[in-house]
């Protein structure tokens, strides 16, 4: 598809940045760590462990572990990495990295994932061809299920360390990725499935991060739509890209209203996943509808944002990218239920054709909306998309959006906001997020907040004023959910890391990709309570 226009001068159509780094698959051996052939071996180290905790490793290090631990140069504090040599002949690797795992009593899957990323990032700077990581859990012996969870989280973490946001600096090549081997002594052979799940989920997160990192002049609505289709296609998921006339025919006045100030036309992407064999039970099959905000750049429109930090608004499509990444994973890993991915895409610009404050738009659902602030555009395009997900047969809804600055005030950059109904569905989504490594916390949706959306002229206003800004934004979305079980994830604070951490470089985080995929892949955990309509 032609992505024409002055905006793209000098860049080719489909991927302006150096193509994403693709690494060799991660292997897994069940045998002993000392015999594993590799250039460098990574060993998780729990705080306060004696120097001889891992067989004869200290002897192979020439006593350096005992020295580092006793001088407190390295104590196993979470994410610290200590490099040393292994001159002895007891181990086949010549180099060792100890990675801090924190206190063993508080070790869990979230820590295992982050520790693997920290190790992956640290090892990557060493430019080695091969590296291996020993999997260690909270206990010395693990059940088959625990092995599988640990291996999956570790592979996710190592894969997240392969991400390179791409760079438009000419001649800037990312450090190479070593070929990784996991060592899981005592694990059942069935960990192969966990290895694949972790790899696919980590890669899908990285693909979403690549999209969110792209600048607005490259990732226009048209290019974003085609990149989403490519990504979902990797998982065998079908993509339909609706253009202006089809969006008009559906009556999506809110999506069209947001897009009308831009030289770039709106798009609506519909992704459809079908399980290999739908169960013979006919009517009862639930359909998950995933909806992601796809504003390729948010200037605020006529209610224009201040210049400071406006550049960050290139990631205002991170929710849409998360849905696309999740659909790829769902397709590759095979969820048991049908899943729809709906991504409304627009660029929010001020111009002579832009919507004005005070304009009234008509939603596809039929409700009229007074646009009091053109910067509250995400809820407008999501409202039409939520309605469309229902029309296509979704029975359960989850939307993801960089929706409100207010959520950053409420929860900071650690935790995504979570709102919706019924409580059991919201809690189900929260718990899936916890397993997937995406922290979320609920805010209330009491009916009384609806008053803040009253308009003199239309069915509702698109803003509810400063108080409870994230809640009133969600109250607006709720108007378009038709009483279906629905959860809204506000990722305005979590989609982008402002500062680097040992387990998280600056830039796009890929938040919510693994959560959305997990909800679909574990659909057998849904119950009557999570499916109650209001
Ligand atoms: N995309 C922004 C929200 C945002 C803010 C994302 C900060 C990431 C970081 C959204 O479209 C927006 O502008 N929201 C307004 C709503 C207000 C006008 C009611 C906001 O939060 O200020
Ligand atoms: Mn905005
Ligand atoms: Zn926005």
Average pLDDT over residues 496-516: 97
192-250 tens-digit pLDDT: 999 999 999 999 999 999 999 999 999 999 999 999 999 999 999 999 999 999 999 99
Ligand 1 test: best mutation among 296, 306, 410, 492, most atoms within 8 Å of CB? 492
Residues 164 and 254 in one domain: no
- Mean pLDDT for all residues in the chain: 94
437 domain-assigned: yes
Query: How much of the chain exceeds pLDDT 70, in percent?
Result: 95
Question: Ligand 2 centre from 315 Cα, in Å?
Answer: 11
Residues 165 and 246 in one domain: no
Protein residues with C-beta less than 5 angstroms from the ion ligand 3: 295, 298, 316, 378
Q: What is the CATH number of the domain that holds 35?
A: 3.40.220.10
Question: What is the pLDDT, as a whole number, of residue 279?
Answer: 57
423-433 tens-digit pLDDT: 999 999 999 99
Q: What atom of ligand 1 comes closest to residue 462's alpha carbon?
A: 19
Residue nearest to atom 9 of ligand 1 (CA): 492
**CA 504 – CA 267 distance, rounded (Å):** 32
Residues 183 and 326 in one domain: no
Q: Which ligand is nearest to the CA of 300?
A: 2
280 — pLDDT class (breaks 50, 70, 90): low
**Residue at a domain's end among 189, 206, 228:** 189
**SS3 per residue for 364-402:** CCCCEEEECCCCCCHHHHHHHHHHHHHHCCCCEEEEEEC
Strand order in the sheet with 359-362: 359-362, 368-371, 460-461
Ligand 1 test: best mutation among 261, 303, 315, 403, most atoms within 8 Å of CB? 403
- List active site positions: 305, 379
**Strand-pair partners of 497:** 507
Residue nearest to atom 6 of ligand 1 (CA): 492
Question: What is the pLDDT, as a whole number, of residue 167?
Answer: 82
- Residues at CB less than 6 angstroms from ligand 1: 298, 316, 373, 375-378, 402-406, 463, 469, 492
Determine the structural domain holding residue 298 and report its residue range.
Answer: 237-525
Residues 286 and 393 in one domain: yes
- Domains contained in the chain, number: 2
b/e 102-139 (16+ beta carbons within 10 angstroms → b): bebeebebbbbbbbbbbbbbbbbeeebebbbbbbbbbe
Q: What atom of ligand 1 comes closest to residue 377's alpha carbon?
A: 11
473-497 tens-digit pLDDT: 999 999 999 999 999 999 999 999 9
pLDDT at 374 over 70: yes
Question: What is the pLDDT, as a whole number, of residue 6?
Answer: 43
Residues 173 and 260 in one domain: no
390 domain-assigned: yes
**CA 407 – CA 319 distance, rounded (Å):** 15
**Residue at a domain's end among 189, 217, 249:** 189
3-state secondary structure of 489: strand
Question: What is the pLDDT, as a whole number, of residue 174?
Answer: 84
Residues 175 and 270 in one domain: no
Residues 55 and 171 in one domain: yes
Residues 479 and 379 in one domain: yes
402-421 tens-digit pLDDT: 999 999 999 999 999 999 99
Residues 314 and 426 in one domain: yes
Structure-model confidence comparison of residues 173 and 466, the more confident one: 466
pLDDT at 82 over 90: yes
Q: What atom of ligand 1 comes closest to residue 464's alpha carbon?
A: 19
DSSP per residue, 69-98:
HHTTS----TT-EEEEE--SSSSS-SEEEE
Question: Ligand 3 centre from 449 Cα, in Å?
Answer: 21
Residues 184 and 274 in one domain: no
Q: Which ligand is nearest to the CA of 473?
A: 1
Residues 164 and 241 in one domain: no
Q: What's the pTM?
A: 0.96
Pairing of strands 294-298, 179-183: unpaired
314 domain-assigned: yes
Question: What is the pLDDT, as a whole number, of residue 430?
Answer: 98
230 domain-assigned: no
Residue nearest to atom 17 of ligand 1 (CA): 376
Question: What is the pLDDT, as a whole number, of residue 309?
Answer: 87
**Residue at a domain's end among 189, 218, 248:** 189
224 domain-assigned: no
330 domain-assigned: yes
477 domain-assigned: yes
366 domain-assigned: yes
Residues 145 and 262 in one domain: no
């Amino acid at each position: 598809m032609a992505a024409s226009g002055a905006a793209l001068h000098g860049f080719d159509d489909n991927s302006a940045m150096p193509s994403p780094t693709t690494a060799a698959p991660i292997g897994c051996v069940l045998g002993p760590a000392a015999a594993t052939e590799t250039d460098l071996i990574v060993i998780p180290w729990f705080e306060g462990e004696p120097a001889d905790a891992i067989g004869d490793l200290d002897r192979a290090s020439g006593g350096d572990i005992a020295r580092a631990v006793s001088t407190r140069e390295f104590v196993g504090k979470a994410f610290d990495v200590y490099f040393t040599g292994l001159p002895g002949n007891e181990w086949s690797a010549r180099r060792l990295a100890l990675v801090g795992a924190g206190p063993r009593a508080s070790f869990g899957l979230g820590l295992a994932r982050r520790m693997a990323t920290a190790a992956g990032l640290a090892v990557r700077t060493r430019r080695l061809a091969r590296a291996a990581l020993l999997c260690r859990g909270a206990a010395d012996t693990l059940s088959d299920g625990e092995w599988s969870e640990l291996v999956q989280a570790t592979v996710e973490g190592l894969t997240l360390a392969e991400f390179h946001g791409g760079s438009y600096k000419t001649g800037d090549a990312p450090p190479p990725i070593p070929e990784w081997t996991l060592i899981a002594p005592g694990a059942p052979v069935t960990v192969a499935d966990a290895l694949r799940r972790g790899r696919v989920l980590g890669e899908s997160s990285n693909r979403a991060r690549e999209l969110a990192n792209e600048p607005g002049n490259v990732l226009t609505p048209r290019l974003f739509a085609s990149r989403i289709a490519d990504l979902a296609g990797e998982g065998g998921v079908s993509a339909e890209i609706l253009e202006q006339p089809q969006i008009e025919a559906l009556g999506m006045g809110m999506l069209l209203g947001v897009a009308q100030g831009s030289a770039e036309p709106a798009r609506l992407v519909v992704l459809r996943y079908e399980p290999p064999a739908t169960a013979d039970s006919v009517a009862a099959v639930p359909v998950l509808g995933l909806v992601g905000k796809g504003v390729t750049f948010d200037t605020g429109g006529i209610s224009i944002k201040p210049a400071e930090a406006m550049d960050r608004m290139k990631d205002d499509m991170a929710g849409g990218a998360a849905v696309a990444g999740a659909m790829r994973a769902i397709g590759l890993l095979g969820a048991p239920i049908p899943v729809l991915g709906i991504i409304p895409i627009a660029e929010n610009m001020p111009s002579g054709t832009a919507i004005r404050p005070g304009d009234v738009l008509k939603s596809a659902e039929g409700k009229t909306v007074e646009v009091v602030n053109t910067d509250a555009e995400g809820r407008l395009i999501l409202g039409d998309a939520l309605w469309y997900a229902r029309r296509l047969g979704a029975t359960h809804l989850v939307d993801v959006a960089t929706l409100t600055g207010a959520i950053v005030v409420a929860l900071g950059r650690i935790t995504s906001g979570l709102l919706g109904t019924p409580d059991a569905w919201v809690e189900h989504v929260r718990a899936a997020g916890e397993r997937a490594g995406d922290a979320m916390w609920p805010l209330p949706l009491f009916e009384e907040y609806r008053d803040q959306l009253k308009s003199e002229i239309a069915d509702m206003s698109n803003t509810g004023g400063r108080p409870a800004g994230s809640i009133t934004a969600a109250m607006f979305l709720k108007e378009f959910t038709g009483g279906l079980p629905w959860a809204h994830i506000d990722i305005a604070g979590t989609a982008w890391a402002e500062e680097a951490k040992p387990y998280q470089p600056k830039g796009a985080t890929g938040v919510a990709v693994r959560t959305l995929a997990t909800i679909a892949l574990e659909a057998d955990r849904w119950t009557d309570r999570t499916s109650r309509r209001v």
